[in-house]
A and B are shown apart, each in its own frame.
Chain A
Amino acid sequence: QSALTQPASVSGSPGQSITISCTGTSSAVGTYNLVSWYQQHPGKAPKLMIYEVSKRPSGVSNRFSASKSGNTASLTISGLQAEDEADYYCSSYAGSGTFVFGIGTRVTVL
């Protein structure tokens, strides 16, 4: 299973909204509503931000939202803040007990 495709980098000014795309195949993103998104700050473990396409775990800001259409999932960060600067990874269940991650997107707050 090849890695999911994400833009290498996305940037925005404080207060703006940005969207990160995550493109997979019909056997991963397209088939299962099991897309998740993770935030990783340098030197830290990843943190779950979104699961099952659009659900937020308890404690995650509602500035983070997500959706899916066909083989592409998207994460939107609204009201961008300095603390949102990090790497973001999408992931999808790919069937037969396996998972696949995206290549990662570096978010820069200008």
Chain B
Amino acid sequence: EVQLLESGGGLVQPGGSLTLSCAASGFTFSTYAMSWVRQAPGKGLEWVSVISGRGGSTYYAASVKGRFTISRDNSRNTLYLQMNSLRAEDTAVYYCTKDISSGTSYTYDAFDIWGQGTMVTVSS
């Protein structure tokens, strides 16, 4: 069964740091791009960042660029999101997602598998 399991969320003060992890199973992890998508309480979905299958390409939403770093360890089938200089507006459920495309037609396509999400609260 294809699964994504996030961890690492919690309460952090403004200006603080946090690292999220996402353990993947049930598919060839290194073949697929992976993204983080977040959802603030009562709000809509916001794409945060994507990393290519081999990790050589990374992209970020303007709202997090320069503060967040996406990475992956294909030997451990794990995706990460290092979050620095956190702000109140970063408070959200963070979802780890798998891209539906294995790169044969499109490198980045759609998010076909989602984790259960991990809550990040930025507050003093």
Which of A's residues lie within 8 Å of B, judged by CB? 1, 3, 34, 36, 38, 40, 45-48, 51-52, 57, 89, 91, 93, 96-104
In angstroms, Cα B110 to Cα A104, docked, is 16
Query: What 0/1 pattern do residues 12 to 54 of B give for CB contact below 8 A with A?
Result: 0000000000000000000000010100000011110010000
Interface residues in B, total, Cβ within 8 A: 24
Inter-chain contact A96/B59, CB cutoff 8 Å: yes
In the complex, residue of chain B having the shortest beta-carbon distance to the beta carbon of A105: B44
Inter-chain contact B95/A46, CB cutoff 8 Å: yes
Inter-chain contact A97/B47, CB cutoff 8 Å: no
In angstroms, Cα B61 to Cα A3, docked, is 12
| 15 residue pairs A–B, Cβ–Cβ below 8 Å | A34-B106, A34-B110, A36-B110, A36-B111, A47-B114, A48-B112, A51-B100, A57-B100, A91-B45, A93-B108, A97-B57, A98-B61, A101-B44, A103-B44, A104-B45
| CB-defined contacts of B44 to chain A, threshold 8 Å | 3, 89, 101-104
| CB-defined contacts of A98 to chain B, threshold 8 Å | 47, 50, 59, 61
- B109 adjacent to chain A (CB < 8 Å): yes
